[in-house]
């Protein structure tokens, strides 16, 4: 197993515009934001604990269907914005959160890259008590509104697994918002949620609760601890104790009170189907695959490379499905070189 980089401690205080008194109100006694599930205190991974303390909620205007208002959206914001470089914007896998970037985010900051880690609408730690639609179109529009409100410059959009599908879907609709793409072990050829979109809501809720929706290709990542643990064992070659902790990190957002409603809404909406968009994405794209991915076939990455008009390919050694967790140093070097133009 690869050694992990030295722990990078985030700043002791937030940016100056947030007072110490406000910070005390916003966090609990352990320094975690008050809106995070209480189970965050049980996490042992120092990288995850440090990054969790930096999660904030920012208001993002959203009008979709019958929903009109602001979504208090969770993310990790950069300490400093660099207007002379394209920002790096990190998405996450299916049913995950920005904590997925716990071992990569500090290194990207060390590399002087302005980095955002965004929770995709319907996952992560946003305030969705008043639930907006959580279908693909709403996730796309929410990301655009966040970009338009806060980032405001073409970005290097990074997506792992289903996050790569989110990135392709977004870029096809809002090409002006994207400078470059990074697609990691991309799950870009799945055909939505299949027959699940035709389920009555009552059965969809039962599926979420019983974790029996085998038709969805990433069902192992739902809330059940045994299924999440089995997925982690498949994804990582790590000791059991570490996999248990990583499982708790990966399912932390499932403790949010709206998680079940948001998941059902996404599943019955039909999910993502972006295969027809791929050949029309003209942005410079870095296709990344892992040497030992046991979840998404490397052949899909090769297929993606062949269909994208302007793509390059790199493999990350000694890593499984999530190279940004298992081999963060190598992964950050790829991102840094791609951002600077060393990889063409």
Active site members: 161, 293, 321
Closest C-alpha to 89, from 80, 99, 77: 77
CA dist., res. 7 & res. 107, Å (int): 10
Residue 155, phi then psi, degrees to nearest 5: -120, 160
User: Which residue is listed with tokens 């880690």?
Assistant: 117
Burial of 342 per CB tally in 10 Å (0-12, 13-18, 19+): exposed
Q: Which two tokens stand for residue 210?
A: 């019983």
Phi-psi region of 122 (alpha: psi -120 to 50; beta: other; left: phi over 0): left
Find residue 158's DSSP bridge partners. 90, 182
User: What is the four-CA torsion angle of 75, 12, 112, 235, rounded to 10 degrees?
Assistant: -50
Other CB atoms within 10 A of residue 11 CB: 9
Please give the angle made by the CA atoms of 143, 236 and 295, to the nearest 5 degrees: 65
């Amino acid at each position: 197993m690869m050694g992990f980089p030295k722990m990078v401690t985030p700043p002791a205080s937030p940016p100056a515009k947030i007072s110490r008194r406000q910070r005390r109100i916003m966090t609990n006694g352990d320094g975690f934001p008050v809106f995070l599930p209480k189970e965050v205190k049980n996490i042992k991974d120092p990288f995850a604990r440090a990054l969790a303390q930096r999660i904030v909620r920012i208001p993002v205007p959203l009008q979709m269907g019958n929903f009109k208002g602001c979504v208090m959206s969770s993310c990790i914001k950069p300490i400093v914005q660099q207007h002379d470089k394209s920002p790096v914007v990190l998405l996450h896998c299916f049913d995950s959160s920005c904590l997925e970037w716990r071992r990569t985010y500090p290194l990207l900051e060390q590399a002087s890259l302005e980095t955002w880690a965004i929770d995709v609408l319907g996952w992560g730690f946003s305030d969705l008590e008043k639930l907006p639609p959580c279908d693909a179109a709403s996730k796309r529009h929410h990301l655009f509104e966040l970009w338009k409100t806060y980032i405001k410059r073409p970005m290097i959009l990074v997506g792992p697994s289903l996050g790569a599908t989110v990135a392709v879907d977004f870029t096809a609709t809002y090409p002006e918002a994207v400078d470059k793409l990074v697609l990691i072990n991309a799950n870009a050829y799945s055909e939505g949620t299949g027959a699940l979109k035709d389920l009555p809501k009552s059965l969809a809720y039962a599926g979420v609760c019983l974790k029996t929706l085998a038709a969805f290709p990433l069902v192992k990542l739902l809330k059940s601890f045994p299924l999440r643990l089995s997925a982690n064992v498949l994804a990582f070659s790590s000791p059991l104790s570490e996999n248990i902790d990583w499982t708790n990190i990966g399912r932390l957002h499932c403790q949010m009170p709206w998680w079940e409603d948001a998941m059902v809404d996404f599943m019955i909406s039909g999910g993502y189907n972006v295969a027809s968009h791929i050949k029309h994405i003209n942005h410079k794209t870095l296709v990344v695959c892992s040497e030992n991915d046991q979840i998404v076939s490397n052949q899909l990455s090769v297929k993606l490379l062949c269909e994208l008009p302007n793509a390059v390919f790199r493999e990350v050694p000694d890593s499984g499905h999530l190279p940004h967790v298992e081999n963060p140093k190598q992964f950050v070097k790829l991102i840094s070189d791609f951002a600077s133009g060393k990889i063409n």
